Amino acid sequence: MIIEKLLRRFDISSEREDYIKIHDTVESGIEFKGTNLWILIFAIFIASVGLNVNSTAVIIGAMLVSPLMGPILGMGYSIATYDFSLFRKALVNYLFAIVAGLLTSAIYFYVTPIYQAHSELLARTQPNIYDVIIALVGGLAGIVAISSKNKGNVIPGVAIATALMPPLCTAGYGLATANWGFFFGAFYLLTINTVFIGTATLITVRLLQYPIRDYANEHQKTMANRWVSFLVLLTTIPSIYYGYLLVQKEHFIQNANNFITNESYIEGDFLLKHELDPAKKQIKLIYGGKLINDSEKKRLNSRKAIYGLASTTVIVQQGFSINDVSGDLTQSDRYQAEINQLKTELSRNIQRQDSIGALNKATGLLFNEIKPLFPDVRYCSAERQTFFTNGGKTSNYTVVVLGSANLTQTGRDFTKIKNWLQVRLKSDSIKLYVEKAVP
């Protein structure tokens, strides 16, 4: 009983749209003419500009506008129902859209002054098995939504998840710049999305037992199914390999970061930066400080196997470049001089921060002390500031601002207040400003 109730929750037969309406919806989205053609042109330009300026929001807009999914759903639907005339119509329109998209985006990227490949372009050039999963599940969601009376906002979501226009325009970028790695990578992503959205549509239509639209003999059915299986297999195999490479890359990066976090400490040195090269399985550590001896390098290499990095090359480099130390010093002396210089600079910064903190604390005490001496003072502020002149000369002053309820009386006491501040703050470089206290 419980299982039956649970299974009824997954039953969509009661929400299914009329088969004739489903067919009309699919068929109306196939052909690129009139409104659909203009929307296709606009979507191509929007996607190209979005990729060019690296704008995610614009690219998402192009995905939503694009009518490219129509003929793909049409191809899957027509094969499932053996409506080969509809399949030919969908295929012709799809190929027209692909050619139009490639040429239009290639022309745009050829004439645009911005030619650098940003992250949004790069993201469409390395497809893998995860893109197959996204396209398959997205295609299932799309055809189920079309088959239902309650379509909701599924179709826009599917358009974003199974991006079709961005990889097409990225392929156009590769064509315009003769970057064939970009072209084939993006075109392969487009192929993955096309094949598996169509396959998901075919599977869903068959499972929901849509009526056969046209007569087909057993030979035609067998050939159609074989071609679909061949295309699915041909598209999937490279994506599995690229997915494997992606997993290996992520494992390498994670293990390498753990290794660096736990093992990179060398006494007397500090790690300036590190570089990871997953393709070459290489970790480069660049240090600043004393000269690193061979025993430390051997120690680092002996520890890498613990983190699953046995075949990884660990390169240890000294990164200091001493420009302000005499060239006749030994390398060790230069490193020590640089360390001393860094320590001095750090000490100065700490002292400066301490002095600022001390001054901020002293301001409260300053107000409590000045108030009985000069009752008209309502508030005060003290801060160490640097003054610049046209000649580039700088001077440091302690700037004190007083808020007075009686400017006339405070003006008479101005010299007394300034002299008192100089004694109190033990500084001759005092700049005193008096303003009307805000009520």
Retrieve residue 310's tokens: 């046995």
Q: Are 26 and 93 in contact (CB under 8 A)?
A: no
Residues in the chain: 439
Q: What is the pLDDT, as a whole number, of residue 94?
A: 92
Q: What's the whole-number mean pLDDT along residues 358-383?
A: 76
pLDDT tens-digit series, residues 26-43 = 888 888 888 888 888 888
Confidence check: pLDDT of 158 > 80: no
Of 11-20, 74-83, 414-423, where does mean pLDDT reach its minimum? 11-20
How far apart CA 348 and CA 330 sit, in angstroms, is 27
Q: Indicate the pairing of strand 377-388 with strand 313-318.
A: unpaired
Could you write out the three-class secondary structure of the chain? Answer: CHHHHHHHHCCCHHHECCHHHHHHHHHHCCCCCCHHHHHHHHHHHHHHHHHHHCCHHHHHHHHHHCCCHHHHHHHHHHHHCCCHHHHHHHHHHHHHHHHHHHHHHHHHHHHCCCCCCCHHHHCCCCCCHHHHHHHHHHHHHHHHHHHECCCCCHHHHHHHHCCCHHHHHHHHHHHHHCCHHHHHHHHHHHHHHHHHHHHHHHHHHHHCCCCCCCCCCHHHHHHHHHHHHHHHHHHHHHHHHHHHHHHHHHHHHHHHHHHHHHHCCCCCEEEEEEEEECCCCEEEEEEEECCCCHHHHHHHHHHHHHHCCCCCEEEEEECCCCCCCCCCCCHHHHHHHHHHHHHHHHHHHHHHHHHHHHHHHHHHHHHHHHHHHCCCEEEEEEEEEEEECCCCCEEEEEEEEEEECCHHHHHHCHHHHHHHHHHHHCCCCEEEEEEECCC
How far apart CA 386 and CA 396 sit, in angstroms, is 4
Higher-pLDDT residue of 176 and 126 is: 176
pLDDT tens-digit series, residues 45-90 = 898 888 888 888 888 888 888 888 888 888 998 888 888 888 999 9
Q: What is the pLDDT, as a whole number, of residue 91?
A: 92
Q: What's the whole-number mean pLDDT along residues 134-160?
A: 75
Higher-pLDDT residue of 230 and 428 is: 230
The separation between the first and the last C-alpha atoms of the chain, rounded to the nearest angstrom, is 77
Quick one: residue 212, left, alpha or beta (phi over 0 = left, psi -120 to 50 = alpha)? beta
How far apart CA 347 and CA 429 sit, in angstroms, is 24
Q: What is the pLDDT, as a whole number, of residue 418?
A: 84
Q: What is the pLDDT, as a whole number, of residue 323?
A: 40
Say if residue 300 is exposed, middle or buried (CB neighbours under 10 Å; 0-12, 13-18, 19+). buried
How far apart CA 221 and CA 201 sit, in angstroms, is 17
Cα–Cα distances in angstroms (integers) from residue 290 to residues 45, 295, 316, 321, 345, in the given order = 56, 14, 13, 13, 18
Q: What's the whole-number mean pLDDT along residues 253-272?
A: 84
pLDDT tens-digit series, residues 280-332 = 889 998 887 777 888 888 888 888 888 888 888 888 887 654 443 444 445 55
Confidence check: pLDDT of 226 > 50: yes
**How far out from the chain centre does Cα 246 lie?**
17
How far apart CA 170 and CA 151 sit, in angstroms, is 31
Confidence check: pLDDT of 136 > 60: yes
- Give residue for tokens 């057993």: 218
Cα dihedral 41, 42, 43, 44 sign: positive
How far apart CA 422 and CA 426 sit, in angstroms, is 5
- Neighbouring C-beta atoms of residue 258, cutoff 10 Å: 14
